[in-house]
Structure 1
Amino acid sequence: MAGLVDALGPILELMTWVGFVPGVPLLVWGLIIARRRCVWTRTTGEVYSAGGFTGFRWTDQDNVQRQTLVDADVARGLVAGNEVELHYDLCHPARWALGRPKHDNTVLILGWILTSVGILCTVGGFVLLLF
């Protein structure tokens, strides 16, 4: 048992550093990214056709008329005059999506995982002191 505790101590110490050193900066960076992200909202847009191209027309929250053209693969199932549900970025209304956008923040997830590993290994190191 003493040999296991002696071998586990340096491993937990190393994993504490491996978790905390990259984990905390990644966690802070991910939180900054999450705070600076703009909110997306949804509205009803009208499908229009102009010169063989298809696009969407909608009014944003500031009552500004917006319109954009869509790619050919998006336009295949759309008929001019129909209404669709559009999601758009409030800070950059030219960024839009037909489906609800996913806000993946890989940096934040990785930061949480590495910081958690560092915390668990620190606690494990203190538990080893009792043996």
Structure 2
Amino acid sequence: MVGSVAFQMMDHEDVGRNVTCTHSAPFNHRGTGQLPQAHWFFGKCGGEVRAEIHYEISARSDRSVIVDDGRVALFEGASDDTRDLDGGYPFGFPENPIRIPDGQSVTKVFHVSNAMEDEPDDKATITITWKNVPIRAIGKAPR
């Protein structure tokens, strides 16, 4: 599975301008180990805000990939390494997994904000695209 993840974030400031940040990264999840495989990504903004996305992937016999046991989270505190969880929610649990058929892609957009301290301008939008790359025969000559 290959794809990309992008974070658009804002750190609300009581004095001065709010800080906005963007982060993006490609990824390549190779199915070379135990399944399910756990993955996570994060973005930081303004020295006080960190957003994270966590999920697991597993392969199915029909070559589809399931994304489940997911969670998005927003932390806000005195630094962007804080453990002060101020917002988040689960996604893709066993009752509603994200299924990606062989050769197809799925894009999801998650919005998370600082709900615990009533600061909705401390926020992140996380856009993630997963592409289930078809398995190619190894060692066969092209026809």
Superposition TM-score tier, normalisation by shorter sequence: under 0.3
More helix by share: 1
Q: Given the two structures, how large is their TM-score scaled by the length of structure 2?
A: 0.21
Asked which structure has the greater RCO (Cα within 8 Å, sep 6+), the reply is: 1
Larger radius of gyration: 1
More strand by share: 2
Q: Given the two structures, how large is their TM-score scaled by the length of structure 1?
A: 0.22
